[in-house]
Amino acid sequence: MSYHIRVSARGIVINNDRILLNEFGGGEYYNIPGGGVEPGETVKQAVVREILEESGLNVTVGDLIYALEYEPNNSNFVYGKKPQISLVFRCFLNGDDNIKPPSVPDRDPDNSAITSESKWISISELENINYVPHIHEQLMEYIKTNIFSPVFIEEPLNKN
């Protein structure tokens, strides 16, 4: 029996008290820009490519902030049937912060009618949005303290 897992790379980009996020369905939910690592590229190359594709922004990849594991059987298949590991890096903007729409917008994997749009979201607004996956508290702690130390997170989050 083989075990296939999707590896994705994502980047947290903060600029002028705003964070770059992908908005799905006109604000139905948001997530950090990024996506699957393609054959022949490193995880850091994938972060740069994905952010450029989704927002038109150029970034430099910094340190790994967290790894998020999704195992469908433990999560009632909330994000689909394929296990995933997402590696999330702190990224730094190179050049201007003008977002350029992608030629092909990302789509929600479970509903292709829902597309995404990259947006700068004020950090003060983060508490009022639906952020997926549910790591809002950890993300806010990183931003408030500016201490981006690596952590491993499993979805669904344990509520101890």
CATH code for residues 6-155: 3.90.79.10
Query: In angstroms, rounded to a whole number, what is the distance separating the alpha carbons of residues 98 and 71?
Result: 36
| Number of C-beta neighbours around residue 3 at 10 A | 5
DSSP letter for 54, please: H
Query: In angstroms, rounded to a whole number, what is the distance separating the alpha carbons of residues 126 and 142?
Result: 13
pLDDT by position in tens, the chain (length 160): 456 888 899 999 999 989 999 988 888 888 899 999 999 999 999 999 999 999 999 999 999 988 887 766 665 555 566 778 889 999 999 998 898 877 666 666 666 667 788 999 998 888 888 877 666 666 777 777 776 666 666 665 544 4
Each domain of the chain, given as residue ranges in start order, spans 6-155
Q: Which pTM value belongs to this model?
A: 0.81
% helix / strand / coil in the chain, to the nearest 5? 20, 40, 40
- Measured in degrees and rounded to the nearest 5, phi and psi for residue 88 equal -115, 125
